[in-house]
Structure 1
Amino acid sequence: MPAKVVVIGSLNMDLVTRAPRLPRGGETLIGHTFATVSGGKGANQAVAAARLGAQVSMVGCVGSDAYGHELRDALLAEQIDCQAVSTVEDSSGVALIVVDDQSQNAIVIVAGANGALTPAVIDQFDAVLQAADVIICQLEVPDATVGHALKRGRALGKTVILNPAPASRPLPADWYANIDYLIPNESEASALTGLSVDSLASAEVAASQLLTAGAGKVIITLGAQGSLFADGQGFQHFPAPKVQAVDTTAAGDTFVGGFAAALASGRSEAEAIGFGQVAAALSVTRAGAQPSIPTLSDVQAFPAP
């Protein structure tokens, strides 16, 4: 049977425009293109895990609008179990995304229905959590819900992953003991620790601080520099595969979903990180969030270094 991954988190409709560069304050730019694409960190990670070999269930909320139907249908098309995706009387979450000609992006999120994902909703679908091998959370739903899900995952003895995104401040101190793998990027690691994380050396300092706070293991993703794995035994750097980037949207989500799928299937941590990095590298060669996420066969066909 495929490994079972449960993703607790956000579903957003991404409103994506491409422009020559990111606009400055008060400035109006002429963009190249516009598209609406199913996204949200939670849904992106669910799609990534499903395409990369896992059996996936999504726990989240969508609005009673057209976007809500589209978001649910996008998950169902990936054979993702949506019994725990609730429809609420609100607008669905949206993300306003600008991608520049250098493939960098700026994003504004409006939570909408994602704010209705409460601890009570998590409890309502506890059987879904009980069936999981790995549980993934992010920060696009209420903090109380994330903390509750992490604690429940620990109580059930599941492997618990937190992708602290988006992060603007340190995590609550009592969360760390419930996290097996904490996976921030450079800016998120900076927000969690108050340190400037812009190199491999500074990532090691930040990872050490996060381990001291109580996280089981830490993986800091470093974009084109790859990723840094840290545990109580030390550090290991994983260089990134070399590709030509087109759009970095959802690269981090693809890494998290791929890592979780590989880990849940029984691969070693090093193998799971390498697998996630190849998946993320492939994703940046394509435009969009969910449309850019590769399949298991795509990753298997990627040439070995």
Structure 2
Amino acid sequence: MILNIGSINADFVYSVPRLPKPGETLAASGRALYLGGKGANMSVAAARAGAHVLHLGAVGADGRWAVERLLEYGVDTRHVSEVAEPTAHAIITVDPTGENMIVIYPGANHAIPETGLNPAFALAKPGDWFITQNETNLQEEAAIRARSAGLRVAYAAAPFSAEAVESMTPHLDLLVLNEVEMEQLRDATGKQAGDLGVAQVIVTLGKRGCRLHDHADGWKGRDFPAPPVDPVDTTGAGDTFTGYLMAGLDRGQPIAQAIGLANQAAALMVTRHGTADVIPDLSEVQTMRRP
């Protein structure tokens, strides 16, 4: 099982001719509403990859549709709470090349009740995976609880904060962050991947795939290329990668095999417009052909 304490957002996506500059007003050619949030995206990706995912999160009364959507996509939602704060939302602009710009309002994601941790962790067993991201409260508290219960702990370091990463690394087995975030972490702390005290660090490299830094091979770094595709929207690609990665590890796959499948899922994701609603399922990823 994968236990995920993660964000749940309403994603408002606007198609724009280019990403706006400071002070500029642009007319959008399209608008769509999707289920999103890094936590929800990862839970859906892991569930679509065949894992049992228990999601801990919170929505406002305006977010009941999001919980229903998660359940529809195979996520265990029995520990998603309804709180007084409004459901989180994101404003996302996407240009014709698939690049995006995102503004997030945290809302209920920062009001997950701590009382929900005990009943959720009671369902987990030693060896299960716990994952979280930097979009909610209770990240470190839940990671400490997970480690003490014998769970393996993973952290997706986005939205990036060097302070948040440093507070989480003592509790981690796996850290996932992108190339820019790794540079920011190195600039803030002076530490390379092998200096963080985490057994495995994965740095995603966009269309170039990812790099694994593993204590088992002396932190040399091993690159895993991504299948070449024509992207239309990069939103949610990193979350899809992480969700598929976690599902593979939860099934007991070697990390190289889990990364390979995760790279394929992320590559397929960028050929689609949207977030959680369009994350590919396992059968689609397995039949994907490399050009």
Q: TM range, normalised to the smaller chain? A: over 0.9
Other-structure match for 1:100: 95
Indicate yes or no: 2:261 matched with 1:278: no
Tell whether the 8 Å contact from 1:171 to 1:192 is kept in structure 2 after alignment.
no
Match of 1:78 in 2: 73
Alpha-carbon distance in 2 for matches of 1:231, 1:43: 27
Q: Structure 1 residues 279, 302: closer, same or farther in 2, change over 3 A? A: same
CA separation of 1:21 and 1:132: change in aligned 2, threshold 3 A = farther
Find the partner of 2:9 among 3, 12, 37.
12
Give the equivalent residue in structure 2 for 1:267.
Answer: 253
- Aligned partner of 1:52 in structure 2 is 49
Say if 2:248 and 2:258, in contact at 8 Å, map to a contact too: yes
Q: Secondary structure at the match of 1:148?
A: helix
Q: Count residues with an aligned counterpart.
A: 288
- What is the alpha-carbon distance in structure 2 between the residues aligned to residue 111 and residue 59 of structure 1? 15
Contact (CA 8 Å) 1:5, 1:57: kept in 2 or not? yes
Q: Quick check: 1:248 aligned with 2:243? A: no
User: How many Å separate the matches in 2 of 1:99 and 1:132?
Assistant: 39
Shift of 1:55: 1.1
Alignment check: 8 A CA contact 2:228 2:290 kept: no
> Which residue of structure 1 lines up, in the alignment, with residue 177 of structure 2?
184
Alignment partner of 2:26 out of 17, 29, 33: 29
Answer yes or no: is 1:221 the counterpart of 2:216: no
Q: Is the 8 A contact 1:176 1:213 kept in 2?
A: yes
CA distance in 2, matches of 1:75, 1:32: 28
Taking a change above 3 Å as real, the CA distance of residues 291 and 173 of structure 1, as seen in their structure-2 partners, is closer
Contact persistence 1:60–1:86 (CA under 8 A): yes
Equivalent position SS for 1:184: strand
The alignment partner of 2:242 has SS state of: helix
Structure 1: stretches of 5+ with no match in the other structure: 196-205
- Cα 1:131/1:154, change in 2 over 3 Å: closer
Match of 1:200 in 2: none
Greater shift, 179-188 or 270-279, is seen at 179-188
- Give the superposition deviation at 1:131: 7.6
Instruction: Tell me what 1:166 maps to.
Output: 159
Alpha carbons 1:57, 1:128 under 8 Å: kept = no
Q: Return the alpha-carbon distance in structure 1 between the equivalents of residues 154 and 128 of structure 2.
A: 11
Query: Does the CA contact (< 8 Å) of 1:255 and 1:279 recur in 2?
Result: yes
RMSD: 1.9
Question: Which range moves more in the overlay, 16-25 or 154-163?
Answer: 154-163
Deviation at 1:14, TM superposition (A): 0.2
TM-score normalised according to structure 2 size? 0.94
Give me the whole-angstrom Cα distance separating, in 2, the residues matched to 1:117 and 1:132: 25
Name the counterpart of 1:210: 193
Match of 1:146 in 2: 139
Q: TM-score, normalised by structure 1?
A: 0.89
SS of residue in 1 equivalent to 2:122: helix
1:128 match: secondary structure: coil
Q: Taking every aligned residue pair, what percent have the same amino acid on both sides?
A: 41
1:141-172 alpha-carbon deviations (Å, 9 max, x no partner)? 12xx1111111221122121100110033435
